[in-house]
Every structure is written in structure tokens, then in C-alpha cells.
Amino acid sequence: MNKITWRRSKRRLLVVSNRLPVSIKSSEGRREIRPGAGGLVTALAPIVRNTRGVWIGWPGCELTPEVLELIRNYNIEKSFDLQAVNLTEEEVQNYYLGFSNEALWPLFHDLLGQCMFEGVHWEVYKNVNRKFAEKIVEAVQPGDLIWIHDYHLILVAHYLRQMNVDHPLAFFLHTPFPGYDLLRRLPWKDRILGGLLDFDLVGFQTLRDRRNFCRSAKELMPELYIKAFYRHSIVRHGRREIKVGNFPISIDFSEFNDGAQIEEVEREASFLRNKCQSRSLMLGVDRLDYTKGIPERFLAYERALEKYPELRGNICLLQLAVPSRSHLSAYQDIRETLEWMVGRINGRFSEFGWQPIQYIYRSVSRTELLGFYRACDIGLLTPLRDGMNLVAKEFCASTVDNNGVLILSEFAGASEQLAKGAIMVNPYNREETADAIYRAYKMELEERERMMTVLRSEVKRNDIFRWVEWFLSSFREHEREEAASEIHPNNSKPVNDRVESSIMESIKSGGGGSYTDD
């Protein structure tokens, strides 16, 4: 954790997300609390703890006295400060399952056909965002920095401003951000864009997302002044300046690199290879979601088996589909579709002792997941649209022998960083993806090692700790710029000088990865 210099700050960090960084499970009639997993929790939890900060979110269940007691005990035991927002069943249905996941989620992933725009969902979404803001007001102290995460909480800054909170406010969107032609379909687009402009710093995953936001804001509010620089843009909204940047999130490289080499993982990988009895194992790992392009992936694989008979009996696709939002009809439909497709493709191509697809619909342990990564020499990750796709980075970090090939969708946010070492495909192009599968299968070891070395170097250099430090450094830089603008309110030249200076500071401090210049 010494990679994060922010922990030396005396200022508290308040992290606000839809869910708390813990999970509350029922076991043998009793509830227990467990630390959450994932790169964001790994990177931010120590900073919150070391600055004596706060993490605010929904615990994922009703806030009963038993749950409150679990959280209190966890805070004491872990020297942490989790503060829970209580949501009613109606709020969960309308704010979370409704507006967040049936309006914003598909819209932000360019899938307009999946969108449902319901007025009652929008009203509850606003009310819950206000509820989160009220919780922040209860917890905040002078000098705190407030960092809010993801599409569930876009309006929180708006309500904090109404409550006269003048603390610096930052926001990071983990999903993509759509172009204006899609965004304009949202009946409340002006409120969503206005909500984002109430923050001081707004972070996106990619340069494309940043540009989409700036262009959409300009379309709706032509009076905005927007200046684009290499690492970020400055949006002048009235008397305020909003810094808008692209900060591609990452993983803890060492956790996956080291974990993939333990004996238990190696045994798991060996078991999978023996069970599948194929020369080459190809892996897909996704939440079961219509944005992940799994049906399109299956059709491309089927085309590869048709077009290249050499693959039959020699390659096996291991598809792990992790259950997600299973009570929504769209997710039930895609599960039924995938199970039907697996049966049809296996029925068509299976031979004695070999099946083309091994399909698993369940959650897996960390050891099992690492075993999948180690066992497979091809990663087939082809989302129709993805904010980042951290699985691609996890696969690379876990391929410790460098004998692996990544096939990656050009519509994954990770493509901006990983394109130089991956085989890039358009997931809608069945022929192109089929050809990519065959190319990966036939690739010589020397080329595999060269390409995977590039990928692993990129992921290692730009890990989750660098991402956090870069984002928080931008936070600090923006505060300095705002203070300077108050000293020189009528001088426009220092604004540009300050921005160029902050770019150099960001580069010198190690921020950034592989990006395209404006």
C-alpha cells in the first residue's frame, strides 16, 4: 500500500458508492459480514482507513438492528468507518433495479432497445440521491474530500450544493458515457448532465467517454466554454470550472500475478486442462449481462468451427457466466438464450470425448478463477460495450508464463491501453472474430510471448494504485487551480498556464497510461 502517497495526507477522504465495500451473508440462520473483493476496495479501503475517512453506501439488505450491529463491530475490529444508507424495498426496485439498471445502464452501453424510461423510476432515483447527500452531510467534516462513484449517484452533488456543502466534490463513472445522439433520448438528460457539472472533478474511463460528455454538454448548453488538453478538459459553467479527465481503472497486478503461481491454483489449472482434453483452451469470463456480447461470441465461435475444421477436437471454449440481476426479465431471457445456444452448438459439433463449449453458470472462488486464467491460453473477451473490462487485465496479469493470447473487443474501454498486444475485433463481425480465434490458435510461441509481454507490462505499469494516485493528484491540482483563479479572477491567461502545468505534474508523478492526444 506504500504506492499510495495520499495516505500521508491529513485530510479525510469520504468515498460514496451505491454499495458498501462489504458483503452481508446469511449462514446457518446467522448473518455475517465479509470484506468486499475487487480492485477498487483493495486500493481505496487503506486510504479511507489511514485518513480516518468514511465509506458511505447501501449494505445490500434492510438495515435491521442486527445489520447495524454487524457494521459497528466491523468498524471497531477493522479500524474503519462504514456508514450505511437504508433503502426501502420500493427504493431498491425503482432507484436501483429501475432507473439505474433499466435506463442508465443500457443507455450508457449504447443499447437503446433495452432502455425503459419510467417517470416513477426517475422520481425515486432523485429521492435516493438526496438521501445519500443527507448521509454525507451527517458525516462530513471541514476539509474533507468527497469522492462519489458511478451512475447510481450522479445527482448527489446537485443536492449537496443545495445543502450548501462547499467541499471539493469528485465523481468517477465506471461505465461508458454515450454520445449525444443516444443521450438525447433520455427524458431527463439535462438533469443528468447538470448533475455531473455540479462536481469539481469528473472522471471517465476513456478519452472517447470524456469527449462524449463534453460534446453532449456543449450541445445542451451552448454557452459553456470548453477547452480540451492532453489529459483533461476544462468546462467553465457560470463562475465555476469543472475539470473533466479520463482515468482508466485497473487491477492489483501483483495480486493476480502472485496468486496465479500458488500451488493450489496450479492444481486447479491442471485439473481443467485434463478434463477438457483439448490442445487449446479459450476462456470467456463475464457477468451474465446483455452488454457482454456472449451470444455474438458463441456465434463467432460456431463460425470458426465451420470455417476451420482443424479446430474441432483441438479447442474448447470455457465460458464462465456469473449470475447477475437474475430477477430482471432481460437477464432471464439472455440466460435461456445462452443455454439453448450451448446445447445447439455442442449437439452439432461434439465428438466422443470432446465438447466445443463448457458452460458454467455460477459464481466461483478466487482460486477457481485464477485456475481458469492459468489453464487457458486464449482469452476471448468481446463485450458489445464496456467501461473497461477488468477481466482482460486480470487474464494478462495471471498469464505468468507469457504463453497466452488476448482477443479483445474494440468497444471495451481496455482497448485504448491493450490494443498493441491484443488481437482486436468488432464483436458484431462474426467472420472477423472467427478468423481471430483461428489466428490465436495457430500463433507461434514466440509471437505469443512478445504480445503478452507487452500486455503484462502495460497492466503492471498502470495498476489500480497508480490509478488512485493519479485521480487524487488531479483532485489536489484542481483545488490549487481553483484557489489561484480566486486570486486572479479576471485573468484568463493563468488558467491555461495552470492547466498546462498540471499536465506536466501529472506526467512527472507517473499518472496515465496509453492515451491518444486530443
Give yes or no for a contact between 477 and 505, defined as CB atoms under 8 angstroms apart: yes
Q: Select from 233, 232, 172 the least CA-distant residue to 204.
A: 172
Q: Beta 82-84 vs 280-287: how paired, if at all?
A: unpaired
The length of the chain is 518
Q: Which of 198, 386, 435, 463 is catalytic?
A: 386
Instruction: Indicate if the alpha-carbon torsion angle 504, 510, 511, 516 is positive or negative.
Output: positive
Q: Select from 90, 88, 80, 89 the least CA-distant residue to 21.
A: 80
Cell representation of residue 235:
468546462
Residue where the block lists cell 450522479: 154
Q: Measured between alpha carbons, how far is 14 from 81 in angstroms, rounded to an integer?
A: 10
Q: Which of 149, 174, 232, 478 is catalytic?
A: 174
Assess whether 237 carries a catalytic annotation. Answer: no
Q: Measured between alpha carbons, how far is 172 from 153 in angstroms, rounded to an integer?
A: 10
Q: Measured between alpha carbons, how far is 498 from 279 in angstroms, rounded to an integer?
A: 57
Q: Select from 292, 385, 294 the least CA-distant residue to 336.
A: 294
SS3 235: strand
Assess whether 174 carries a catalytic annotation. Answer: yes
- Residues acting as catalytic residues: 174, 386
